[in-house]
Amino acid sequence: MTSVPAFTQSREDFTRNLSDSGLFTTDELGHLPEGDGATLVHKLTESGRLTNYQVQAIQSRRFSELRIGNYDVLSKLGAGGMGSVYKAKHRKMKRIVALKVLAAEIASQGSFIQRFQREVETIAQLQHPNIVMAFDADECESGHFLVMEFVDGRDLSGDVEKNGPLSVADAVECIRQAAEGLAYAHRRGIVHRDIKPANLLRDVTGLVKVADLGLARLSSAAAENSSITQAGGILGTADYMPPEQALDSTTIDHRADIYSLGCTLYFLLTGRPPFQAGSLMGLLLAHRDKPIPSVRDFRADVPPSVEAVIARMLAKKPTDRQASMDEVCQALTSLRAQVQHLTNRPSGATTAKPAAAGTDMTVTLDAATGVAAALISSPPSMATSRRIVDLSLVLVEPSRTQAAIVRKLLESLGIKNVHTANSGQQALQLGREKQVEAFLSAMQLSDMTGVQLAEQARISLPDVGIVVTSSADDAEQATAALQAKNVILLPKPFDGRKLVAALCRATGRLEE
């Protein structure tokens, strides 16, 4: 709750402002409590007739912040990329709701508003005890807004942050309830895309509700025309994002929610997401390549059966996960009897380990533009950099996120003549048209592998140097195929020095 600073406004001035605000009727204004300005405000807030948020807005005559459509705003709950969220009360029905007001930048996109209306119609049809309901959508001077059920409680992220990891029984039950709501949504063709502890709300009775269901699809639609997506922005939260979502968020299905829900269960039990890294790229690669850390390494009281369910939910390949959220529900329900006696939180709160030192590349997100910027932790020498600044190359990367990160790294090295392709065939065509000197390619492309691209390039573009970025597992499989002197394997993660060295070797520009 927002605190109110020492109130110094006179009763006369505050009463005049209160009248101008339109919050009170003439009759209500005629029956205000006695006392000076500070006493009046204290009595009005103590009785619940005004909130601290409203007092501050009235005092400053910011009346536009007090009304959204037919709703009186009680407090501001938060803000995000889609806009701001408020607690509000319908003026006639007196129902308490949560209002999500779209940011002006998003609301100005005509195509998005049409999508918004369609999505709202879909969301409003969802009625399930484990889903935050949508009641209405409207437009006013404040912009387009969505009227949602207000959950009197807190999100699970805040619970863990304040009180530490949940008991095993509590964590399993919270995720089981969330899975029930998601299974209902999946049967109606809706995938959340951004499941995380902050989007699971638990009310004062213990009922868990999935929040923002459907809004992630709206966020995706809004980002399609935004600078964030053009720069490779990610739709979702990296700590809980399945590997396939980082590659292409438009083609994921319900199994992405299973992975994210598994990561959330891991967090509720340990107080940390399953994977840690010192950069966005490192985190995405960890989700893709690293083995799942054992929950039991952090919580000895977690039964092996619980860990087995988590491990399957976090399978790298969607086909290796539970086939449906209904299957997840069944698995979690079967665990209830096994964990019902495990009702104690761990004695010491588990906190996330700091990012590992020495991570080769970190990624920041510019708050104004959403552009990912790659920072070189181990820069090459100036003499070496000069050998490649005039290099012309094709960056072959199906993930817009990773393409933006690597391109920024190349630009920071002085390499400006970069053409981007998202498939092997497109890369070969660009290579011929632009007469480039090098390909910098991911191992896994949409139409072929980096190895197959190298093999085709040897025939049609024999003078082009090839650098293939790869995980350790890919490298072991590809070593035998990458024998030509103009093909270099570059393990991930890599920094500026390693990238320059690989490009120099692939193109014959010897390093100093």
State CA 179 to chain mean position distance.
Answer: 19
Task: Please say whether the beta carbons of 58 and 24 come within 8 A.
Answer: no
- Interacting residues of 40 by C-beta distance below 8 A, sequence separation 6+: 11, 14, 15, 32, 33, 34
Distances (CA, A) of 12 to 22, 36, 58, 221, 285: 16, 9, 13, 49, 62
> What's at 240, amino acid-wise?
Y
> Could you say which DSSP state residue 449 is in?
B
The active-site residue, picked from 155, 159, 170, 194, is: 194
474 is catalytic: no
Which residue matches tokens 């109130």? 7
CA gap 395, 393 in Å, rounded: 6
- Interacting residues of 281 by C-beta distance below 8 A, sequence separation 6+: 361, 363, 374, 402, 405, 492, 493
Helix axes 496-507, 400-412, angle to 10 degrees: 80
> Could you say which DSSP state residue 152 is in?
S
Helix axes 304-313, 255-270, angle to 10 degrees: 140
Task: Please say whether the beta carbons of 507 and 391 come within 8 A.
Answer: yes
Tokens of 331: 């698995």
CA gap 379, 345 in Å, rounded: 46
> Which amino acids are annotated catalytic?
194
